[in-house]
A and B are shown apart, each in its own frame.
Chain A
Amino acid sequence: MKYIKLYFQYAKLSIMSKLSYKSNTIIGIAAFLFTEITSILTLFIIVSQVPSLEGWNMYQIGLLYGITNLAIGLDHLFTDKLWNVAYFEVRSGTMDSLFLRPIPVLFQTIALEIQLEALGEILTAIFLIIFCSCNLSLIVTFESVLLLVVGIIGAALLITSFKIIIASMAFAFKRTGPFLQIVYNFSNYSKYPLTIFPKIIRFAFTFLIPLGLCVFFPVTNLFNPSSIGINPYLLVAIIIVVTAIILTLAILIWSKFAKRYESTGS
């Protein structure tokens, strides 16, 4: 309870500080919005060259893209400061103050920044999901919606977990931002149907970086439930367990590496 209250206090401070530079925040949101629009246009231009891509039509691919982007946007909104840890903050020693407070450092790192620019990403993702859903005959049942919601939250938490793991390594190696960028770029693969990739990449996105498990299967279940070959409730349980394990592992790795943090001595 104490941490929930504290989180909202931190979040309020972050939003207030962002809004004190209103024009910058608006430019940031608009920039993300515009970037996403051009990415979506590119996607549609490429996919429209063929009637379907491995059995997926343009709107189904758009839906998958939107759902994945929504998960990425949610992670971006709530945990953006991890990028700074990976790139600058350990190196510059600005994390000293967080280590001096009697509150978990990871909690502070995440709570200290609400990245409003991510709203541009989230808004375009929601628009794309609505637009594509209207052009598809989706099978909307309690289980398919539950699977989708759990999948989106699971995917967002998975991205956060991988960010925590790589950012925490900066405590030992000072700068792991470029490595985080590589993993982030690799995660873009999950915006497209897994069926277009070779088996090794499908395996990686199902078992190693299980973003495909969280997004690809729940989206497929919306229009072709028989093809996922697993009971949706069982899939919900698997997503929850896998996400919980990876998140716990990420927190443990963070705690271990955080002990190696040393100030710059300036």
Chain B
Amino acid sequence: MLKMKKLKNSLSKYIPFFHAGLKSTLAYKSQIYGWMIIGVIEILFIFFLYQAIYRNAPEGMNSVINGLTFYEMILYGATSFIFGNAISSETGWNIYVEVRDGTVVNTLTKPVSYRIRHLFTCFGQAFFQVFFIALPLLVILYGIFIGCGFVQFEPLQFILNIVFFLIFLLLAILINDSIGYLIGMLTFYTQHMFGLNMFISSIKTFLSGTMVPLSYMGVFGVIFSYLPFAFLASTPILILMGKMELLMIFIYLTIAIGYLILLEFINHLLFKHCIKKIVVQGG
């Protein structure tokens, strides 16, 4: 009991960082409209491209390609776009800006954990992205697809899918933030973010199954599904769509937690090395 109280007290000092993350996301509301227009363009593009693919498949629009019907493929693409935004984290950029401007020393001298501080800022950002954008959009999307009979789910199974999906959503936010933090740490050495960020973004997009489901990649797709990036799109989306067996869900859950612990451990070691290396111009 005493320990819990102590933990609560020590975490309460990070609440302002949660608010900062939330407010910084709210401050750029206009960007959300831009993101939505881009989303419509991207989803329409996915629709036209896969429509042409299925139209040209041997069994036409009724074909099942790599385990997905045409409507399931569109649902996968749209969910993947919404999911990608829900878990996006600014941690890497925030660390880079602090390293570039030298303001990183201000936070290092304060009695707060550098990692937990950034994690709470990420939670603030994710809170808005998940509860005010992603979940309402997913409810509308699945409502339309189920309502129109494009996809079918058994009610109880679907509720279970949603529960597991939400657990994997939380894990995806944490893993993505850990990767962002790792990239941020690397800017202590490179002093440059643009190229690094682009590099990791394309790795994530490709290996997570954001652009194309991993089942399209044959044996490589199976290998990629065990990498940490798969938890940033493919695994949670397939769980929501009811495309994964319970046993596999538990196996992936264990792997995801393992990756999270490993990433945080690497981040911890890297941070210890970085603070010894830091040089702030002008002091």
Contacts and interface: CB of A to CB of B under 8 A. Distances in A.
Contacts of A38: 202-203, 205-206
B189 to A, nearest CB: 10
B56 A23 contact: no
B34 interface: yes
Interface residues of B, number: 35
Contacts of B191: 24
Contacts of B196: 27, 31
A49 B216 CA distance: 8
A198 B212 contact: no
Interface stretch (A133-141, A175-183, A222-230): A175-183
A232 interface: no
B41 A31 contact: no
B56 A54 contact: yes
A198 B51 CA distance: 11
B199 A42 contact: no
Contact of A197 (B48, B65, B217): B48
Interface in B32-59: 34, 37-38, 41-42, 45, 48-49, 51-53, 55-57
Contacts of B1: none
Nearest to B30: A178
Interface residues of A, number: 37
A188 B45 contact: yes
B195 interface: yes
B38 A182 contact: yes
Given A31-B198, A181-B38, A49 B65 contact: yes
Contact of A196 (B41, B48, B192, B194): B48
Label chain B's interface by main secondary structure. Answer: helix
Contact of A30 (B38, B199, B203): B199
Given A178-B31, A182-B34, A186-B41, A45 B216 contact: yes
Contacts of B56: 50-54
A167 B245 CA distance: 50
Contacts of B42: 185
B49 A182 contact: no
B198 A42 contact: no
A53 B41 CA distance: 21
Interface string B77-103: 000000000000000000000000000
B10 interface: no
Nearest to A35: B202
13 contacts: A23-B190, A24-B191, A28-B195, A31-B194, A32-B198, A34-B202, A46-B216, A49-B57, A49-B216, A50-B56, A178-B30, A181-B34, A196-B48
Given A31-B195, A182-B37, 4 more contacts: A24-B192, A50-B53, A54-B55, A196-B52
